[in-house]
Structure 1
Amino acid sequence: MSGEGSLRERLIDAGVDLVLAEGSASVGLREIARRAGVSHGAPRRWFPTHHALLSAIARRGFEDLGAWFVAAAADEPTPRGQLEAIARTYVRYALERRGMFELMFRHELLDSTLQQAAGEQPRLREATLPMFQHFTRMVATCCPEQEAEVTAAALWANLHGVAQLWAWGSLQLVLGEVGLAAKERDRLVMAVLDAHLGPVTS
């Protein structure tokens, strides 16, 4: 990697660390520069706006989540088992990397029109769509009789809701099973999959 490319990655690395530690609201070009050990003006060469910096950090989050998916599904022999592993991983990622997860789904960063108008590339939408397409392909394999995109969208929305409500403590409140957190989360994920794909019958 060239020196310039390496510096760009260092700036993103610093942004990722800051998001994970303090959330996306804490991310600014000056603080990123300080953490990366460069002048305050240096980040502007690669990230002309705060929006562009957040988008680059969020793209890194999607790459990270994709790697988690691959690792989770690697030892699962069936499509349904792989989808179950990925669904559990999605919720776990949301809870363990909460600041990044919240940043990744910021709608103003997903708006390709705004990013294109500002001359900011690559567009974050192009990092989000592969994740959804992966869900869609897996749903189509598990349930070829269903409309895969609609089912995948509903499944994704449901998993996202589980992650958010668990992070806020709402599901623990209604389930009354705080002491069995991981086990209860997995049960919820299985209930989501059964609701959208049907229960496993064999």
Structure 2
Amino acid sequence: MESGSSLRERLVDVGVDLVLTEGTASLGLREIARRAGVSHGAPRRHFPTHHALLSAIARRGFADLGARFATAARGAASPHGQLRALGRAYVAYALECRGMFELMFRHDLLTSENEVSGQPPLRESTLPLFEHFAGLVARCRADRVGQGSETPQDAETPAAVIAAALWSNLHGVAQLWAWGSLQLVLGASPSVVGTSDDDLLDRLVAAALDAHLGPVNA
């Protein structure tokens, strides 16, 4: 007989596969149960609500994204270099795993409690990633102070606010690229004609960092 923990993990495994291959619209409890080979009521024994199961699936996405962040940052010594690597990894993940990316940042999941199944609220997977991001922003600002390039206006804005604005910028890059909007508006620009998608995405991430943190050599 299959243990409760292994069935729970199998249900999450099936949900992860579904969201990565077919998107968030496929994540019904009945469909997950069918593909896991169990009765449609079986998921309720481990996930009291649909949100609880979706949160467990999204938590896998945050674990994957966190691992990609760690790998991306290894080759960058400076805080600015690490932020650029993380920004590029964030956009790449959004484009590669669109269904999971959409699921991970749904506010209704981030605020749902999941005490019955023994799992913390999904926000506890989100906050450490943002706090790491904000910490790198604070270190970048400290470097600018050391260089004498931070303005009084810069000093008045908390690092967390700048980090949130930068995150919003990167999220927007990912979404607009996925929809084809950025390719459309940049396609006729002489400065980007002939530029590969990877190079253009790198330039967009670099421009976002420069806009919020200033150029590296400012």
**With structure 1 as the length reference, what TM-score do the two structures score?**
0.91
In 1, Cα distance between equivalents of 2:48 and 2:122: 16
Moved more, 36-45 or 48-57: 36-45
Give a deviation string over 1:46-71, Cα, whole Å, max 9, x none: 11221111111111111110001001
Check whether the contact 2:73–2:86 (CA below 8 A) recurs between aligned residues.
Answer: yes
Partner SS state of residue 17, structure 2: helix
Check whether the contact 2:170–2:205 (CA below 8 A) recurs between aligned residues.
Answer: yes
Alignment-derived partner of residue 210 in structure 2: 194
Q: Shift of the alpha carbon at 1:75?
A: 1.7
Check whether the contact 2:166–2:212 (CA below 8 A) recurs between aligned residues.
Answer: yes
Alignment-derived partner of residue 39 in structure 2: 39
Check whether the contact 1:19–1:26 (CA below 8 A) recurs between aligned residues.
Answer: yes
- Out of 104, 128, 152, the residue aligned to residue 126 of structure 2 is 128
In 2, Cα distance between equivalents of 1:6 and 1:78: 42
Alignment-derived partner of residue 141 in structure 1: 139
Q: Shift of the alpha carbon at 1:38?
A: 2.4
Alignment-derived partner of residue 54 in structure 1: 54
Q: For 1:145-164, what aligned pairs fall within 5 Å after superposition?
A: 146=155, 147-164=158-175
Check whether the contact 1:110–1:124 (CA below 8 A) recurs between aligned residues.
Answer: yes
Q: Which runs of 5+ in 1 are unaligned?
A: none
- CA RMSD of superposed structures (Å): 1.9
Q: Percent identity?
A: 69
Between structure 1 and structure 2, the one with the greater Rg is: 2
**With structure 2 as the length reference, what TM-score do the two structures score?**
0.85
Q: For 1:14-29, what aligned pairs fall within 5 Å after superposition?
A: 14-29=14-29
Check whether the contact 2:29–2:43 (CA below 8 A) recurs between aligned residues.
Answer: yes
Alignment-derived partner of residue 96 in structure 1: 96
Check whether the contact 1:172–1:178 (CA below 8 A) recurs between aligned residues.
Answer: no
Alignment-derived partner of residue 182 in structure 1: 198
Q: Shift of the alpha carbon at 1:162?
A: 0.5
Check whether the contact 1:61–1:104 (CA below 8 A) recurs between aligned residues.
Answer: yes
Higher helix share: 1
